[in-house]
Amino acid sequence: MVNLMAVRQPRYSKEEFARLGDEIYESQIRPQVEEGNYGKIVAIDIETGAFEVADTAIAATDRLYERYDDAQPWVIRIGHRTLYRFGSKSLKKPL
């Protein structure tokens, strides 16, 4: 069988992606990772719930893809509302 690497693409709408990612993070991952990892990056596969914590999004997603080649990664900066900012500090809303 020819091993062709499929082109990676999202299989969910943006809204569904964020909803699933945040739900998995809040219910399963946050209690395990939050303490001592403030500012680190967590990449979550929204299909399997598998996750990887690293210093950068590149490292976290690469590790996730090593385990799950077909992963659908949702990425969160621990303790922050967003990963990157475009010209603004995050609003001071509760997490």
Instruction: Give me the residue label for tokens 């945040």.
Output: 22
| CA neighbours closer than 13 Å in the CB half-sphere of residue 44 | 24
Q: Which residues contact 50 (CB under 8 A, 6 or more apart)?
A: 44, 64, 67, 68, 71
Q: Does 94 bind another protein (CB under 8 A)?
A: no
Q: Which of 27, 49, 67, 81 binds another protein (CB under 8 A)?
A: 81
Q: What are the tokens at 70?
A: 């077909």
Q: Does 83 bind another protein (CB under 8 A)?
A: yes
CA distance 84 to 87: 10
Q: Does 9 bind another protein (CB under 8 A)?
A: yes
* Region of 24-32, 47-55, 83-91 interacting with another protein (CB under 8 A): 83-91
Q: Which of 55, 79, 90, 95 binds another protein (CB under 8 A)?
A: 90
User: Applying CB under 8 A, which residues contact another protein?
Assistant: 7-10, 14-15, 17-18, 21, 43, 57-58, 61, 73-76, 81-91
